[in-house]
Amino acid sequence: MFSDMSSAPNGVSEYICVCIDETPLCYLILPFLASFITLYPLFFFITNMKSIISSLFALSLLSLSSAHAQCHFPAIFNFGDSNSDTGGLSAAFGQAGPPHGITFPGSPAGRYCDGRLVIDFIAESFGLPYLSPFLDSVGSNFSHGANFATAGSPIRAVNTTFRRTGYSPFSLDVQAVQFSNFHNRSQIVRSRGTTLSLPHCICEIISK
């Protein structure tokens, strides 16, 4: 998912922003971050996500002022749970009723709150549209990224059902697999000359 800055096509402004539970992993802001994550396998990152995220968020804040002028991300790929779910769980198991969405957009919209989420404001800050949930095939547009977060998602897979415990079956490792499949299928579609509703940058960047 990450590559060295030296391989960035058309300069650093073409890189994507990857978020895990609304925490931007802006390794363009922190050049050493890319090397750090690349050195560790995914299972280490998953099992230590909570402590790592706190550190990454603190480090991101240190360079926030300079990052705003330098980072112009064309797409965001988000992973997480109800804190950043923009409709994934609702697409899979049915729409959550009021008061969800009562403030924004005025009706249930898959967000497990009464209005917008932090990930919505992150998208706004980059001048991007709100992220479409990966699991929702109706009215979705993935030209500026995708949201793999679903409410109730644990870090590790649980041996139970959603109806029984409320835990989403889309744990972080499943979301990572979904992202990988999305990338592979995007490459196939682009090889056929069709790019509608797909991020322009995904094939050039994530394959590094």
Amino acid identity of residue 183, one-letter, is H
3-state SS, 36-104, equals: HHHHCCHHHHHHCHHHHHHHHHHHHHHCHHHHHHHCCCCCEEEECCCCCCECHHHHHHCCCCCCCCCCC
CA distance 153 to 159: 13
Is the separation of the CB atoms in 151 and 51 below 8 Å?
Answer: no
Chain segment 21-56, per-residue pLDDT in tens: 555 554 333 333 343 344 344 444 444 555 555 555
Query: Any idea which residue has 């109800």 for tokens?
Result: 82
Mean per-residue pLDDT over the chain, rounded? 68
Give residue 147's pLDDT: 94
Across residues 181-186, what is the average pLDDT?
88
Sequence-distant (6+) residues with CB within 8 A of 139 are: 132
Indicate the pTM of the whole model: 0.63
The answer to whether 88 touches 170, Cβ cutoff 8 Å, is yes
pLDDT-based confidence at 138, cuts 50/70/90?
confident
